[in-house]
Chain A
Amino acid sequence: AQRVTQPEKLLSVFKGAPVELKCNYSYSGSPELFWYVQYSRQRLQLLLRHISRESIKGFTADLNKGETSFHLKKPFAQEEDSAMYYCALRDNQGGKLIFGQGTELSVKP
């Protein structure tokens, strides 16, 4: 079965602290993974995808096939990073995205 798991509902850190939002997936084959973010009162939007190997707003995510993980990391959290973060997996038909439950990141001053 294709599944995405985000074990933490809420992650609270202080400004300047490192952040790691966990994401594990279940998929047979080569997965296509994404992180989407929803800031307060804004729409859900793409943050980054693993195939791009990019760093957006200081965030990176590395696909670890051995651990079936795609954790989102940032070395120094900022208050404006506070948002809901969703990990997503493209299904094997190449169409819809399967989302995790989401993790709320709260960065305190």
Chain B
Amino acid sequence: NAGVMQNPRHLVRRRGQEARLRCSPVKGHSHVYWYRQLPEEGLKFMVYLQKENIIDESGMPKERFSAEFPKEGPSILRIQQVVRGDSAAYFCASSPLRSEKLFFGSGTQLSVL
């Protein structure tokens, strides 16, 4: 069991481009969480998804950001028209049930030039 897999590890985009971050949860886990870590700050919750459903998106910026967790395949965090302020480490976590402990991926470091 490889744990939570995130790719790419590093992603460089120019302003205005799209960024797509992928997260494959632990096999058998149906709950996925995305967090963002800005420099000098802690982990900020973005969105919580269960297969094909968004459970809590209270931490998602209203524009340009979207997330999905389809029935088949990884969860995707999509950022359209990236800006420099989107540069951060994005972490994905999964759990088998709603209130179980979270297993984290290694993160994707997004750099916007």
Could you list which residues of chain A lie within 8 angstroms of chain B, going by C-beta atoms?
6, 32, 34, 43-46, 49, 86, 90, 93-102
Contacts and interface: CB of A to CB of B under 8 A. Distances in A.
A86 B99 contact: no
A46 B56 contact: no
B106 A43 contact: yes
Interface string B1-13: 0011000000000
Main SS of the interface on chain A?
loop
Contacts of B45: 96-99
- Interface size classification for chain B: 20 to 34
Contacts of B99: 32, 90, 94-95
Contact of B35 (A46, A49, A99, A101): A99
B33 interface: yes
Chain B facing A: main interface SS: strand
Interface string B86-113: 0000010100001101111110000000
Contact of B56 (A34, A96, A101): A96
Contacts of A100: 42
Contacts, number: 48
12 contacts: A34-B101, A43-B3, A43-B104, A44-B93, A49-B101, A90-B99, A94-B99, A95-B31, A95-B99, A96-B48, A96-B59, A99-B35
Interface of B: 3-4, 31, 33, 35, 41-45, 48, 55-56, 59, 91, 93, 98-99, 101-106
A34 B105 CA distance: 18
Given A43-B106, A95-B99, A99-B43, 14 more contacts: A6-B42, A32-B99, A43-B4, A43-B105, A44-B43, A44-B91, A86-B43, A90-B99, A94-B98, A97-B33, A97-B45, A98-B45, A99-B35, A99-B44
B48 A86 contact: no
A95 B32 CA distance: 10
